[in-house]
Structure 1
Amino acid sequence: MIKVLVVEDTNSERELICDYLREGGYSVISACDGKDGLDKFEQSRPNVVITDLMMPEMSGLELCRAIKKSILGAVPVIACTAKKQDLDRFWGMKQGLDAYLTKPFTRNDIVQAVQSLSLGE
């Protein structure tokens, strides 16, 4: 089963993403900020990570860079963010993001992004 780590500081959005993924048949781990996300990433070794970009303690881009520097750096990282500007998307992809979703999102947006990045699993 494909394991997805969801890192989101807003409880309602984190739970919504987790619910969508569970309904899609994925195993889900969640974290409330980037530091917690990095700890859970190292412990659980997920197949895909979905992260918000604007979080306290450690931003989603900082989390992405830490993941990409790790020995598990090939794990895809998806941003799910309110930052909608083309420059934000460009900068995020330059920092190592594998996909960029903007809020508001749909169930299909989330599940299709994970599915497309985990096909090789």
Structure 2
Amino acid sequence: MGRVLVVDDDEVIRQLIAVNLQLEGFEVHTAVDGQDCLDRVGDVGPDVITLDVMMPRLDGWVTALRLREGHGRGAKVVLITARAQEDDLRRGREIGVDAYLTKPFDPAELIRVVRDLAGVGSAG
């Protein structure tokens, strides 16, 4: 269906996102922070990357910027974060992220956004 790289330093949230996407038929890979994401993106070749903002080693902002500078190989980027201030939304737009979801997020909305960005239709 599509390949997704889920990036979050919180194991519970990372697994929640991964399981929801796997249940919808996506091939899911995970990374624990931004540096792990950049290290793995070339091997995984994701269609979509879900990316937390607040992470150790390399935060989501820097990671998204590096993905946009060519490390992402054309993958769509969804920021998933508790940071929902207007400045954060504007910063995401400036970097060129494709979608922005705030925590707590609705799993159905997450699936819809990832499906749309991956270019796949609804199941059923």
TM-score by length of 1: 0.93
Shift of 1:74: 2.4
Matches within 5 A, 1:75-90: 75-90=75-90
1:4-63 deviations in whole A, cap 9, x for unaligned?
Answer: 000000000000000110011100000001100111112111111000011010011111
Q: How far apart in 2 are the matches of 1:91 and 1:112?
A: 23
Matches within 5 A, 1:8-87: 8-70=8-70, 72-87=72-87
Secondary structure of the equivalent of 1:4?
strand
Runs of 5+ consecutive residues of structure 1 not aligned to the other structure: none
Secondary structure of the equivalent of 1:5?
strand
1:100 is matched with which residue? Answer: 100
Report if the CA contact (8 A) 2:2-2:26 is conserved: yes
Q: How far apart in 2 are the matches of 1:2 and 1:22?
A: 10
TM-score by length of 2: 0.91
Secondary structure of the equivalent of 1:74?
coil
Aligned positions, number: 120
Q: Which 4+ stretches in 1 moved above 2 angstroms?
A: 71-74
RMSD value over aligned CA atoms? Answer: 1.3
Q: How far apart in 2 are the matches of 1:31 and 1:59?
A: 12
Secondary structure of the equivalent of 1:70?
helix
Runs of 5+ consecutive residues of structure 2 not aligned to the other structure: none
**Alignment pair present for 1:111 and 2:119:** no
Q: How far apart in 2 are the matches of 1:22 and 1:48?
A: 13
Tell me the percent identity: 35
Change (3 A) 1:26 1:97: same
